Chain A
Amino acid sequence: KAGVTQTPRYLIKTRGQQVTLSCSPISGHRSVSWYQQTPGQGLQFLFEYFSETQRNKGNFPGRFSGRQFSNSRSEMNVSTLELGDSALYLCASTRDRGNTGELFFGEGSRLTVL
């Protein structure tokens, strides 16, 4: 069974640009969550999608957005990039609502903003 797949693994952008990251969850998982990981702030929750609907959102500015498609694949977008957006962006999937919360993580997309 394939794990959570994130693309691209590495990317470099400049300030002011935008970026789109992709996440394919484990087959059968309908919930996808996104996290930002930085050395200073640790793991911070961005948002969670279930059946194409955003169910929960963390405390990030509106420049951070996401969506989920009917096949449960998810994308997140960051517009008007800032230096502080440099981070490892992790995607995780779970089976469905009401579960125990066990997350299955991808390997992440490492974004560097210059």
Chain B
Amino acid sequence: AQSVTQLDSQVPVFEEAPVELRCNYSSSVSVYLFWYVQYPNQGLQLLLKYLSGSTLVKGINGFEAEFNKSQTSFHLRKPSVHISDTAEYFCALHGPNNNDMRFGAGTRLTVKP
């Protein structure tokens, strides 16, 4: 069975500080990995995705993530956060033969001034 675990339910951080949101996955086959962001009262928006190739993936709004197959991780990072980055972040995986996306429980990032 495939699953996604987000290790932190809440991450408070001060503005301009770096942040890392952690995501581990479990799968016996190759998967595609995603990070989505959800702002209040909105749907989910794709931040970045790993399909294959380079393990360092760059996304929108200055975010990046690194795929680590040996650690089965896909952590999201940003070197300097802004107040506007306050949102819920979801890690997700999609198997090559699945028709559904498996989501983690989400990490609420709160950026404080």
Where the two chains meet, the residues of A that have a C-beta atom closer than 8 Å to any C-beta of B are 4, 6, 31, 33, 35, 42-43, 45, 48, 50, 55-56, 58, 90, 92, 97, 100-108, 110
Contact = CB atoms under 8 A, between A and B. Distances in A.
Interface of B: 32, 34, 36, 41-46, 49, 51, 90, 94, 98-106
Contacts of B43: 4, 6, 90, 92, 105-108
24 contacts: A4-B43, A42-B103, A42-B104, A42-B106, A43-B90, A45-B100, A45-B101, A45-B102, A48-B100, A56-B98, A58-B100, A90-B43, A90-B44, A100-B51, A100-B94, A101-B32, A101-B94, A102-B46, A103-B36, A103-B44, A105-B43, A106-B43, A107-B43, A110-B41
Contacts, number: 58
Tell me if A's interface is mostly helix, strand, loop or mixed: strand
Contacts of B34: 101-102
A27 to B, nearest CB: 17
Contact of A56 (B41, B45, B49, B100): B100
B51 to A, nearest CB: 5
B105 A55 contact: no
B49 A102 contact: yes
A43 B42 contact: no
Contacts of A105: 36, 43-45
